[in-house]
Structure 1
Amino acid sequence: MTKTAVVIGATGLVGSALLEQLLADESWDKVRVFGRKHSGLQAAKLEEHIVDFANIEDWQQLIQGRSLFICIGTTLSQAGSKAAMRAIDLDLPLRFANYARRNQVEDCLLISSLFANAKSPSHYLRIKGQLEHQLTFLGFKHLMVFRPGPLLGERKQVRFSEQVVAAMQPVFSASLSPLRRWRGIEAEQLAVTMLRYANTPPAEASLVIQGEALFSAR
């Protein structure tokens, strides 16, 4: 049986690293990517679809595969408003996941955030928590939620807050530091962890992976 990965957010920091690893992993026969622009990569098993996410229903039949990787996300400054941010970080991935499940996609792997909580006073963390919560009702065989701290790596658009966090990593990473939970993770490391779980799903139907589990081998 053909093993196909479905990816949204493949041009982002983690998504691009994950895409490269999926293409290099021989256990995946096809990698089906949906986005607003090309990834810039070429491979025999890469199938890219440049789409209008506002009209998912027009091409939803293409959302088929074994596992869905949700790597899409934005910031308030990039989105321009809280409503626009919600549309990108919650509404879009939830609609996409709904169609994926209708098309019998078995597993869902989501990049969320440290401290995600549907009742958080933080708009960003509340959206992430709401997405986590609503995905649990779609009936995926396995729902794997990854809650990283700050994401480290070279972005096309520099984020000042992440530059500050990156500079403080020695403090956050100290083994006895009370701030260790804020330790950042390299995008490539997070992609490695996601692919490891995708290749060997957990026994649990729903699992949150955070803290040291993001860094340790299973």
Structure 2
Amino acid sequence: MTSLNELRAFIVGWTGACGEALSKELAKNNHFKQVILIGRREVKLGEDDPRSKFQQAVVDYDNLEQSRDVFKDCAVGFMTLGTTRGQAGADGFVKVDYEYTMNAAKIAKECGCKQLNYVSSQGAHKDSMFLYPQTKGKVEHELTQLGFDQLFIHRPALLLRGEKSRGVEKLGHILMKPVTAFKPTWNQIRVEDVARSLMAKSAEFGKGNKTEILSNALMHEAAKSLEA
């Protein structure tokens, strides 16, 4: 069986909260032979940043086909791309979270990606009346139609981003404190644990063909398994 440290992997959306956390976690070890950080801009990383060993690939998501070679020979993919309606407007949100994500997934599959890990959202459902869960659910559904050997859909609840937390997330965290003090894993998750959940499932590479949806609670379990 092929070991992970013989494989190439990519992260789409690595400058976002979950993608950044994932890139940092991956840089702590030799999880993969090579990691391609895919984004719309180059980020200057200091020599003391362990992620400087990774390759950065700058792409135009509106013309992603022109950069399809960056996905070549990547057996494992992480899709962490995303924005919000508040940041990009309704049309911008759909363009990023649906169009860009699906285009990247299709090209990756065509270029040989065997396992895809997608960061979705708690409550995702393609038939939802609300735009955010509907869009996430639509992506989930269409990803299952692409034929990846393995597809892991991670559904985090409220993301705890530390200093990068958005206003609504900070408010939600404050309001949920009485509940999360009793059951910390119920309705929130640190971005670092999202990253560990992604890494834990990537370690199942080659262990059968399957599609699996991880709830927020299951993501916590996966993250803990990586630490064990």
If the length of structure 2 is used for normalisation, what is the TM-score? Answer: 0.86
* Counterpart code for 1:159: R
Could you say which residue in structure 2 is the equivalent of 1:75? 84
> Where does structure 2 lack aligned partners over 5 or more consecutive residues?
none
Deviation at 1:61, TM superposition (A): 2.0
Deviation track 1:74-103 (CA, whole Å, cap 9, x = no partner) reads 1111112x1211010001010111000001
Deviation at 1:159, TM superposition (A): 2.1
Deviation at 1:36, TM superposition (A): 1.2
Alpha-carbon contact 1:114-1:210 (below 8 Å) kept: yes
| 1:19 and 2:26 correspond | no
Alpha-carbon contact 1:13-1:155 (below 8 Å) kept: no
Instruction: Describe the shift of the 1:96–1:12 C-alpha distance in structure 2 as closer, same or farther (beyond 3 A).
Output: same
Among 49, 62, 65, which residue is 2:70 paired with? 62
Deviation at 1:144, TM superposition (A): 0.2
| 1:133 and 2:141 correspond | yes
Deviation at 1:44, TM superposition (A): 5.8
Deviation at 1:175, TM superposition (A): 4.7
Could you say which residue in structure 2 is the equivalent of 1:186? 190
Instruction: Describe the shift of the 1:21–1:176 C-alpha distance in structure 2 as closer, same or farther (beyond 3 A).
Output: closer
Deviation track 1:36-89 (CA, whole Å, cap 9, x = no partner) reads 123443546401011111111111122121111000111111112x12110100
Higher helix share: 2
If the length of structure 1 is used for normalisation, what is the TM-score? Answer: 0.90
Provide the C-alpha distance between the structure 2 equivalents of 1:87 and 1:186, rounded to a whole number of angstroms: 26
Alpha-carbon contact 2:189-2:216 (below 8 Å) kept: no
| 1:206 and 2:208 correspond | no
Could you say which residue in structure 2 is the equivalent of 1:37? 41
Could you say which residue in structure 2 is the equivalent of 1:105? 113
Provide the C-alpha distance between the structure 1 equivalents of 2:97 and 2:11, rounded to a whole number of angstroms: 15
Instruction: Describe the shift of the 1:44–1:211 C-alpha distance in structure 2 as closer, same or farther (beyond 3 A).
Output: closer
Instruction: Describe the shift of the 1:176–1:155 C-alpha distance in structure 2 as closer, same or farther (beyond 3 A).
Output: closer
Provide the C-alpha distance between the structure 1 equivalents of 2:145 and 2:12, rounded to a whole number of angstroms: 20
Provide the C-alpha distance between the structure 2 equivalents of 1:126 and 1:152, rounded to a whole number of angstroms: 22
* Counterpart code for 1:75: T
> Where does structure 1 lack aligned partners over 5 or more consecutive residues?
none
Give the aligned length: 213
* Counterpart code for 1:46: F
| 1:172 and 2:179 correspond | yes
Provide the C-alpha distance between the structure 1 equivalents of 2:101 and 2:163, rounded to a whole number of angstroms: 22
Provide the C-alpha distance between the structure 1 equivalents of 2:196 and 2:44, rounded to a whole number of angstroms: 21
Instruction: Describe the shift of the 1:161–1:138 C-alpha distance in structure 2 as closer, same or farther (beyond 3 A).
Output: same
Alpha-carbon contact 1:29-1:45 (below 8 Å) kept: no
Where does structure 1 differ by over 4 angstroms across 4 or more consecutive aligned residues? 174-177, 201-204
Provide the C-alpha distance between the structure 1 equivalents of 2:183 and 2:192, rounded to a whole number of angstroms: 25
Percent of matched pairs sharing the same residue = 25
Deviation at 1:140, TM superposition (A): 0.6
Provide the C-alpha distance between the structure 1 equivalents of 2:183 and 2:113, rounded to a whole number of angstroms: 42
